Amino acid sequence: MSENGFNRRGFLRAAGAGTALASVLGAGASAAHAAPAPAPAGTAGSGSGGRAVCDWLGTSGWRVRIGSAQLLVDPYITRFPTGLFQEGEEFDSKTSLTVDAATVDRIAGDPGVVLVTHSHWDHFGDVPHIATTTGARVVGTATTCNLALAMDVPTSKVSPVKGGEVLDFGDYTVEVVGSLHSRNPNYSMAFPGVRLERPATRPATIADLPEGDTLAFQVTVGNGPSLFFMGASDFVERNLEGLAPDVAMLAAPSTTRTHEYVPRLMEALDKPRKVVLVHWDNFEVPLENPPKPDTTMAFTPQELADAVRAVSPQTEVVIPEYLTSYTFR
């Protein structure tokens, strides 16, 4: 137990695996199946070609290529330790923010846009470095944008959004969806709060990056698929009405505090033809395959895949690997 009264298990996990799985399913489930093999990547060129090529960056992070354009979603590549996953260690809210510049530069590439679902360090931590070195535009909540400004991102490169906006980036559009952060066993979250003004001093620790409200994003490719990106495992059903994405990047729930998470989410999204599971990995180890699951979660990625198939047997479920290209048409 840390000085803040929680460790990884208490921080995220709710109960035993049996109870957790029953709550996630909302109904019985079939046996787990192996993940489908990734589709070939293809070569990005001028025009979208009606497809998106997506590489998982761990947690809820993605590198997405649409024609000649590239965007990032929640790119957290540095993956420094905080004590959440280290056996015998305590979670340290005073952990310093650091950036592995060489690794981030190599993997992030040259994005034009960075979409940020919320401001926790495992979603936002590398974003200021990426934005200041590439000139990428940061799209996120007022909190995300104010934190970015305090970390040297130019005012002209931050785009605060609330939900409801539909932004046209040429080869693709981004619909911003108001969403919710996942709940811990206390029906709360780490570092709640917002930053409605630019902080007077540069954020220095992970506690300096509050949740700051949560968004989801639907990216629609010209003459191609629509992809729904989540960064946390809760949602507002009414806000998902009518989205009906072709592909949904579904965040794994860490506790059972959100009622019937999978059935409600799949119904609200009109049972997408493909679901890709994210935010189930240990995000304090390098991006090396096979991904190391977060073993303190209440269920495994395979069990979550089972839950999706129980609700929507026709849905193809992908348990991704790091830095592997998945093509969606």
For tokens 């009405």, name the residue.
241
Closest to 52 in 3D by CA, of 315, 276, 252? 276
pTM equals 0.87
- Tens of pLDDT, residues 18-70: 444 444 455 433 333 333 334 333 333 346 679 999 999 999 999 999 999 99
What's residue 49's pLDDT? 77
pLDDT of 103 above 60: yes
Give residue 3's pLDDT: 34
Domains and CATH numbers, the chain: 8-39+46-328 (3.60.15.10)
Please say if the pLDDT value at position 236 is more than 70. Answer: yes
Confidence class of residue 136 from pLDDT cuts 50, 70 and 90? very high
Above 60 in pLDDT, residue 299?
A: yes
